Structure 1
């Protein structure tokens, strides 16, 4: 086996980013704007979101950013915006977002576990949201390590949360693959001394991810062949 552990990003990796978050974001912008079309436009601009296309722009910081960063952007344009309250509102609403798994997750993770691999999730979302989504998808119990940006280890591209997984699993970082859809994921993986696997179920394309990845896969369903090759 090429690795002893797999550490997954969540959004854009375990779950297709656009199918899960684009429509949800339009609903949240409308909710914060409360019928004010001009304000909705300013919120969308702050989040780097295209209201007409109902999709995040490829360069949007939200794609790989933290819940706090998104809350700060919204608060910056809302009259008397309370960033703490907005952060809580986003966390609770995100936990109920309609999920679109990139592939059937249960059988894939069970296959990895049957080969003795240790599995983890590290997301720049909240830990609360990560656990809610994994629970909804029926796979929370497959992961021995689940961390968000607020779990005390830091946020990607800092390698610290990745190394926390390696420590938790008692694995050498070089025997772990960081699997993600953004440069944040891959930079963190490289900094941690891990192998890096890019997937194309987020917003970034091959040309952006390939320089930082050991391999670029269409989705995580292709991981078993790579792991065993």
Structure 2
């Protein structure tokens, strides 16, 4: 990148936290709960969500990987007893806030290192803000971020660049000096639209071949990010 790095904006699921290790088994529990134990309904919901019930993993291209909770709930709603979409979203968010998160690496050490270098740090997630904050707090890192936005924070959802523009406004950093780090095409497209350098990681369901055409660089995980940042000078 041409400008020195001044800030890093992270996606959350699949970036700071291993996607399938975190959400694989949890999703099976969610489907069984909302289906009230009906195995046929569980399979129908799994199919529309791109979820493999045998392996307890999401398939590549699953809408759950990058879409906001409201979009995911809208896919499920036609299969469930009549209820407001907002009620299902609230139920999903409440359950998601309790999901144990599997950190990709020692996140506290990672973020402390970046903060020591004077970098502004933020979160831009298509998760809702409340469960996102709950997950970060459970890892003891919520205070490490200068900015946290979810799909319901008023800045829109990725792949739109609204959250990224809001991060720049909140931190006073120019987009050209910011790095967007994520595991999905939505993250890379948002970063590209905002004018940020795009770093993809492989700790979500997407594969290198999916992300490489959209990213400036593809890393195995955020554990490799400090070395990459140092190499930029």
TM-score by length of 1: 0.98
List structure 1 runs of 4+ shifted beyond 2 angstroms. none
Instruction: Tell me how far apart the structure 2 counterparts of residues 28 and 82 of structure 1 sit (CA, whole Å).
Output: 18
Summarize the alignment of residues 157-168 of structure 1 with structure 2, pairs less than 5 Å apart. 157-168=159-170
Instruction: Tell me how far apart the structure 2 counterparts of residues 117 and 60 of structure 1 sit (CA, whole Å).
Output: 33
Instruction: Tell me how far apart the structure 2 counterparts of residues 115 and 62 of structure 1 sit (CA, whole Å).
Output: 34
Instruction: Specify which of 124, 128, 133 is matched with residue 130 of structure 2.
Output: 128
Q: Work out whether residues 105 and 139 of structure 1, in 8 Å CA contact, stay in contact via their aligned partners in 2.
A: yes
Instruction: Tell me how far apart the structure 2 counterparts of residues 193 and 125 of structure 1 sit (CA, whole Å).
Output: 23
Q: Secondary structure at the match of 2:198?
A: strand
Q: Secondary structure at the match of 2:199?
A: strand
Instruction: Specify which of 196, 203, 206 is matched with residue 201 of structure 1.
Output: 203
Instruction: Specify which of 208, 219, 224 is matched with residue 222 of structure 1.
Output: 224
Instruction: Tell me how far apart the structure 2 counterparts of residues 71 and 81 of structure 1 sit (CA, whole Å).
Output: 11
Q: Work out whether residues 46 and 77 of structure 1, in 8 Å CA contact, stay in contact via their aligned partners in 2.
A: no
Q: Secondary structure at the match of 2:17?
A: coil
Partner of 1:24: 26
Q: Which stretch of structure 1 is more off in the superposition, 71-80 or 95-104?
A: 71-80
Q: CA deviation at 1:82?
A: 2.9
Let me know the Cα RMSD of the aligned residues.
1.0
TM-score by length of 2: 0.96
Which runs of no fewer than 5 residues in structure 2 stay unpaired?
A: none
Partner of 1:62: 64
